[in-house]
Structure 1
């Protein structure tokens, strides 16, 4: 009986768990891709600012 209760609780917990979808804006994807590129500091900051503004 205990195994049945535990099994039901485990299955209901797994069913109710939903993977959260990460919604990334184009500006943020672009910023992440360019972070490792050899760029001037101000250009990277502009990309970062565009990313922040796109999330609002």
Structure 2
């Protein structure tokens, strides 16, 4: 009985970890895209002001 409980708890823990990891990767990707957009906007603004 004990191995069954340990196995079930392990499966639950691992599935939660994989969902968290997927969310982390998605959030990181979104943050990188947002940052890239802001840097490009800043560069365009500086270019307009210096021309």
TM range (shorter): 0.3 to 0.5
**Quick one: higher RCO (CA 8 Å, sep 6+), 1 or 2?**
1
More helix by share: 2
